[in-house]
Amino acid sequence: MNEKIISRLCRECLSETPRSIERCGVGHGNYVFIVECADVKYVVRCSLERDAYKDTIYWLEQLAVIEIPVPKVIAKGIFEEYEYLVLSYLEGKDIGLVYLQLKDDDKKAIAREIVSIQNRVAALELENVGPDWSWYTYVEDMLERAKERIAANGYFDVEKAERLREQAKQLKSYFANVKPVAYLDDVSSKNLLIHNGRLSGIIDIDWMGIGDKLTYVALTNMALLNMEYDTDYVKYILEEMRINDIEKKAFLFYTLMYCVDFMGERGTQFMDKTIEVNEQIIDRLNGIYDRLWDEWSNENKSGA
């Protein structure tokens, strides 16, 4: 996938030749470009998978009905060997890119808005949730995937993921009570657009999270820790959600879970790009894990 292909695609489906084409950061299954034609910007997403955007289109339509600020579908189809999806461009930048410019009141306002959005999403009806659905199984699968990637890449200690599988048993009764509820599971330091200090849109919705929406807060927490930013925004989300003691413990566990997930991604190739890894990144992630583990251990001691 390259800019020449995108240019030909735009001429065919939009009847316009792009003024500019910009490749976005690596995704796990899509090539994403921002294309400017005349005075209008579009987002063009491409995939080698067939029916790659069936779920994306469905959820964008569902979310638009409940007034979630998501892109509109402009065009879709097949071009050469690629499935493509052309979306409207939403003004704003990923929250992680502007986080240091946000004021405290901005973080509080964005936290209120994302909690409100997640509450509306939770009311969506879910189809094809089987009777064997299990949140505990989801957690185990996440940890197993992290373990396999860590072992394959060789940059971190596999034991860090293994010990979390053992610790998960402490929350087994909590996990058993998690219901299959819809939530946006990938709005962390990315995919949540901010413009002039306020939430302006949500992008890259290829599926819907099903289960414990605390995980999106933990993912955000881990992302901010990894960027070495303050976690005030996460604190405001948790305050807005009014979580109880067992939920606080689950949130800490989920942050550890995403820490080993981040470890597993380092050195892994997604499409034509490999996730960067170096000694500084390894030391940073190990340090984050150790601090979180100490917090987890202290939490267990105080709760004993």
In tens, the pLDDT along 24-67 reads 865 556 788 999 988 899 999 988 888 889 999 999 999 999 99
Is the per-residue pLDDT at 19 higher than 90? Answer: no
pLDDT tens-digit profile of 275-285?
888 999 999 99
What residues pair up with 193 in beta bridges, in sequence order? Answer: 94, 201
Range of lowest pLDDT (29-33, 95-99, 179-183): 29-33
What's the CA gap between 206 and 92, in Å, rounded? 20
Helix, strand, coil percent values for the chain (each to nearest 5):
50, 15, 30
Which one-letter amino acid corresponds to residue 94?
A: D
- Over range 170-191, report the average pLDDT: 95
At residue 274, the pLDDT reads 78
**Between residues 82 and 25, which one has the greater pLDDT?**
82
- C-alpha closest to that of 238 among 224, 257, 226, 228: 224
At residue 286, the pLDDT reads 97
What's the CA gap between 175 and 28, in Å, rounded? 27
Query: What is the rounded average pLDDT for all residues in the chain?
Result: 92
At residue 278, the pLDDT reads 92
Cβ atoms within 10 Å of 90's Cβ, excluding its own: 17
The answer to whether residues 140 and 167 touch, using CB atoms and an 8 Å cutoff, is no
At residue 246, the pLDDT reads 96
140: alpha, beta or left, given left = phi > 0 and alpha = psi -120 to 50? Answer: alpha
Q: What are phi and psi of 267, to 5 degrees?
A: 90, -5
Is the per-residue pLDDT at 106 higher than 60? Answer: yes
Cβ atoms within 10 Å of 248's Cβ, excluding its own: 13
What's the CA gap between 181 and 122, in Å, rounded? 6
Is the per-residue pLDDT at 104 higher than 80? Answer: yes
Range of lowest pLDDT (21-30, 38-47, 82-91, 183-192): 21-30
Task: For residue 17, name the pLDDT band (cuts at 50, 70, 90).
Answer: confident
Using alpha carbons, list the distances in angstroms from residue 181 to 87, 105, 120, 211, 212: 27, 30, 11, 5, 7
- Over range 91-104, report the average pLDDT: 96
Token reading at 279: 């000694």
At residue 39, the pLDDT reads 82
At residue 303, the pLDDT reads 60
